[in-house]
Amino acid sequence: MREIVVISGKGGTGKTSITAAFAHLASTQGGAMLCDLDVDAPDLHLLLAPDRREEHEFRSGFEAVINPETCVVCGMCFDLCRFDAVQRPSPEDFLGYGVDPLRCEGCKVCVQFCPAKAIDFNEKHCGQWQASNTRFGPLIHAQLFPGSENSGRLVALLKKEARTRAEAQGLSLILCDGAPGIGCPVISSLSGASQAVLVTEPTPSGRHDLERVAELCRHFRIPASVIINKFDLNLGNTQDIEDYCMEQGHAVLGRLPHDEVVVRAMVQARCVTELPATAFSESLRSIWERIVNLEPTAQARPELIQPTPNA
């Protein structure tokens, strides 16, 4: 089973538009199990128009709730909470102590040590996940409720579902759209992946964030290759990023031009590769061919792939 995760460090570099196009191209070559691991702000479904077949609740973690009837207002919970989640009663209101659900980490310390056993510990319903069909094949996706926690656990759950279902349906490829950043959902999305595709742009922040996400991939020993989107915004920076990739042993899969076709496709809920051919979509096709042909053993070696000529 091959598992490709598209991530970027920096948001807005084009991860989702590129993943959707890969999903289209993969569907013409045996298909893939698709998976949107950006559970916080998922967008892949906007391009793939999924037909939802299953919907499940995602329950994870707990939150403390103080019962005002039994609370003896001793303040123990306030003193012990490391997350400043317990709020002291104010002289004007008679509501007693309370827990701010946005700050509560569900650690159970207040529940355990409350001398009056006045704190309930309730499981949290953090979001929903779905199994759907799309014109390019099956999609596993989710929506964490805004403001919720445990995105890493939801990502792990989606990946597990994707693997089981891919196997059952005889699909040998899992294609995942990841989240921005380098924190818990991204780490979770890299776990067990065979390859990371890093999408960057030739700006100081694109470069900076690429370096951090590439370091994360090295940390977890996931082979990572790089796509430079909007390369024509700054050719000097593009060249510098390619030099950096060569030095660090990350294959450069290709360059994509800054092209409004990406937004045009998005507005039509289509992939760029479904629209009439452009320089952007043609470059993307050759990038996909390179990904398909990357030898798993060769991925870790730096010298294998030359940058694409300018689109």
Partner 1 sequence: MIYAIASGKGGTGKTTVTASLAALWDRPVMAVDLDVEEPNLHLFLHPELTGEEPAFMEVPERDPKRCTLCGQCAAFCQYKALSVMGKTLLLFPEMCHGCGGCLLLCPEKALSPGKRELGRIVSGHFRTDHLSSGREEDAGFPDAGFLMGRLRVGEAMSPPLMRQVKARLPQGQSADILIDSPPGVSCPAVNAVMDADVLVLVTEPTPFGLHDFRLAVQAFRSLGKPLGAVINRSDIGGVGIGDASVQDFCRAEGIPVWAQIPYNRAVAEAYSRGEVAASAVPELRAMILALMARMQGAAAASQSASATPGEVQHA
Contacts to partner 1 by CB under 8 A: 9-13, 16, 39-41, 43, 46, 61-62, 80, 82-84, 102-103, 105-109, 112-113, 144, 146-149, 151-152, 179-184, 186-188, 201-205, 208-209, 212, 215-216, 219-220, 230, 233-234, 237, 258, 260, 263-264, 266-267, 269
Q: Which amino acid is at 291?
A: I
Work out how close the CB of 191 gets to partner 1 at its nearest, in angstroms, rounded to a whole number. 11
Residue among 15 and 285 whose Cβ is closer to partner 1: 15
Nearest approach, Cβ of residue 17 and partner 1 (Å): 8
CB of 297 to partner 1, least distance (A): 25
- Minimum CB distance to partner 1, residue 129 (Å): 15
Q: How many CA atoms lie within 13 A of 265 on its CB side?
A: 24
Least distance between partner 1 and beta carbon 114 (Å): 13
Radius of gyration of the chain (CA): 23
Q: How far is the CB of 243 from partner 1 (least distance, A)?
A: 17
CB–CB of 160/191 below 8 Å? no
Nearer to partner 1, 257 or 289 (CB): 257
Q: Which is nearer to partner 1, 118 or 171 (CB)?
A: 118
| Nearest residue (CB) to partner 1, 30 versus 183 | 183
Lookup: tokens for 218: 């090295």
- Distance (Å, rounded) from C-alpha 115 to C-alpha 191? 41
Cα distance between residue 303 and residue 250, in whole Å: 9
Q: Which is nearer to partner 1, 106 or 307 (CB)?
A: 106
Whether the CB-CB separation of 217 and 224 falls below 8 Å is answered with yes
Q: Which two tokens stand for residue 85?
A: 């989640």
Question: What is the C-alpha to C-alpha distance for residues 248 and 245, in angstroms, rounded to an integer?
Answer: 5
Q: Which is nearer to partner 1, 166 or 213 (CB)?
A: 213
Q: What is the DSSP code string of 247-270?
A: HHT--EEEE----THHHHHHHTT-
3-state secondary structure 134-150: ECCEEEEEEEECCCCCC
In angstroms, give the least distance from the CB of 148 to partner 1.
Answer: 6
Closer by beta carbon to partner 1, 83 or else 167: 83
Of 43 and 274, nearer to partner 1 (C-beta) is 43
Does residue 196 contact residue 190 with C-beta atoms inside 8 Å?
yes
d(CA 113, CA 130): 38
Instruction: Tally DSSP H helices, then E strands, for the chain.
Output: 10, 11
Residue 177's SS3 state is strand
In the bound complex, what is the minimum distance in angstroms from residue 292's beta carbon to partner 1?
26
